[in-house]
Amino acid sequence: MSLNVINSDAASFSVSSKGTAKVGETVTVTITGSGLYATFNVSCQGPGQIISSATDVDNGSTTIKVRATGIGTVTVTASGVASNYDNPADYSVSDYTTFTVTSSSSSSNSSNGTTSSNNSSSSSQSTSEPEVKKSSEKNLSSLSVSEGTLSPKFSSGTTTYKVDLTSETESLTISAKAKDSKAKVSGTGKKELKIGENNFTVTVTAEDGSKKTYTISVYVTEKPTQFVKLGDQNLGILNDLSKTDVPKGFEKSTIKIDNKDVTALQNKDMGLTLLYLQNEDDSTGFYIYDVDNNKVLSKYQTVAVNGKTYVLMDAPDNLEAIQDLKTATIKIGDVELSGWKFEDEALSHYTLVYLMNEAGETQLYTYEDTEGTLQKYTPVEEENDNTLTYVFIGTTALFVVSTAVLGYMYISFKKKSISAIKDYYERKNQG
């Protein structure tokens, strides 16, 4: 035989048969693939006819049937492409076998030097084996995993399954059995798991070479092992962001917390860092993290107004002392946030909120709920009877207030006149 196996010393591909046959006899040719999986074509030269054939072999052997049709030498060749288990790259394989065909049958009786058979005449009779049809059964009778539960419940006609696990499970074992004992099953055994999605396939190869594939998708949810605090809450750090939508403008990065690498999201324009955290109720979300002071500030929430996105921020402590304002829960669109309302009923449609804009600037904004407008909250000075009154209004004019000035203005806010605010809005409505 001529053996041609490329790219592997451990794998082999061979074709074999018995050496002789009689006319009309069916000869079994065996094709063996050791340590490899091969698909191939079979050809026959000489007085022979292929009556059944296989198309692949998977670390084992398969057979084809050849009928001897006349006297002479028959050559059967199988050639194709294979990949072995040590190196999955494809390579060519080819081998052949030969057998000699002789006369089908003869009998002789010696009488006075003559040979006769049945009234001094010779006859021959050809016999052949009936063609055996190979099974195409390629269903599984059972499929199971050592950890978790298949969803949906196994059924031979269902080919796609899911399993949910936590990161405490590092591996699982897949078990499967074919309905037909002559079918072969591959893809079972112990499987290592990683955090996130893990996909495994179990393939059933029927006796006739046809195949069916079952897929198991195992999703491993990360269980926190490192924690940070927000007030009295312990929040677990999650590094797997594969199932989350990264907020616009943020990019993945790695930061150090307690000398350990942690996956974070950063927006350089806004100067914000986010962590993906799990609270004590197992709910998850993004939180704003102060890298310099190594602490969680608040949950990351945004509100969109007039096509612009703002981040909800915790107001500085000195804003809590503003007179003639009361804290309240304010709703902008579908988002509820903490802010302030004026105690005067004339300003009931105006509220104050503390936000960060897309440039990373944090300040007070005035929200008007009848038209849904948001404007920067800017101080206006008025003199009335030598008394300095600060009137705070919403305006679109560009105005940057430093932290020191803003603090001074809020402390001085105790002297403000609500009547001046009314006058301002009356003049605005009239003009």
3-state secondary structure of 113: coil
**Which amino acid type is present at position 184?**
K
pLDDT digits (tens, 9 = 90+) for 338-359: 888 888 888 888 888 999 998 9
Q: Compute the average pLDDT of residues 85-108.
A: 76
Distance, in Å, from the CA atom of 90 to the CA atom of 83, rounded to the nearest integer, reads 5
Pairing of strands 20-22, 91-102: parallel
Q: Is 317 exposed, middle or buried (0-12, 13-18, 19+ CB in 10 A)?
A: exposed
Q: Is the pLDDT of residue 322 over 80?
A: no
pLDDT digits (tens, 9 = 90+) for 378-420: 754 444 443 333 344 443 333 333 333 344 444 444 334 445 5
Quote the pLDDT of residue 208.
Answer: 92
pLDDT digits (tens, 9 = 90+) for 155-186: 999 999 999 999 999 999 999 999 999 999 99
Distance, in Å, from the CA atom of 77 to the CA atom of 45, rounded to the nearest integer, reads 8
Q: Compute the average pLDDT of residues 273-282.
A: 90
How is residue 112 written in tokens?
């006075």
Distance, in Å, from the CA atom of 187 to the CA atom of 204, rounded to the nearest integer, reads 9
Q: Is the dihedral of CA 377, 378, 379, 381 positive or negative?
A: negative
Q: List CB contacts of 380: < 8 A, sequence separation 6 or more.
A: 390, 391, 392, 393, 424
Q: Is the pLDDT of residue 105 over 70?
A: no
Quote the pLDDT of residue 36.
Answer: 82
Quote the pLDDT of residue 430.
Answer: 52
Which domains, ranges and CATH numbers included, belong to the chain? 4-107 (2.60.40.1080), 140-221 (2.60.40), 227-300 (no CATH), 305-430 (no CATH)
Q: Is the pLDDT of residue 101 over 80?
A: yes
CA atoms within a 13 Å half-sphere pointing along the CA-CB vector of 95:
21
Q: Compute the average pLDDT of residues 259-275.
A: 93
pLDDT digits (tens, 9 = 90+) for 278-299: 988 888 999 999 999 889 999 9
